[in-house]
Amino acid sequence: MHKDPSKNMTPEMKAVYDDFYANAERLRSEWNLCTQQYNATVGFTKGEEQNWESHIAIRRISDYWIRRRTALERAIPKDMLESFQSDNN
């Protein structure tokens, strides 16, 4: 069982914390957006038909989306993440 970190927060910190977790659908939508955008770009990063500049440009975009999704996955509870993943299977 995890401790509730919000119990030791200042009211201002708790407001930020509560706002982040208050809307699971917003978090689900953000996770889905990251996944969709990453999937749309990652295939181009593996192709050999584009020139180096094009490859790097698309790679930067795919890297952005996977880093953003990874950051979100680290911030949300495991059960919430599992529900997002199961919705996409």
Distances (CA, A) of 81 to 3, 27, 57, 70: 19, 9, 29, 11
The predicted structure's pLDDT at residue 2: 61
What average pLDDT does the chain have?
Answer: 90
Residue 80 CA to chain centroid, in angstroms? Answer: 12
How many CB atoms neighbour CB 76 within 10 A? 20
Arithmetic mean of pLDDT, 76-81:
92
Amino acid at residue number 19: D
Please give the Cα distance from 86 to 89 (Å, whole number): 5
More confident residue, 50 or 12: 12
pTM above 0.85, yes or no: no
Please give the Cα distance from 10 to 63 (Å, whole number): 35
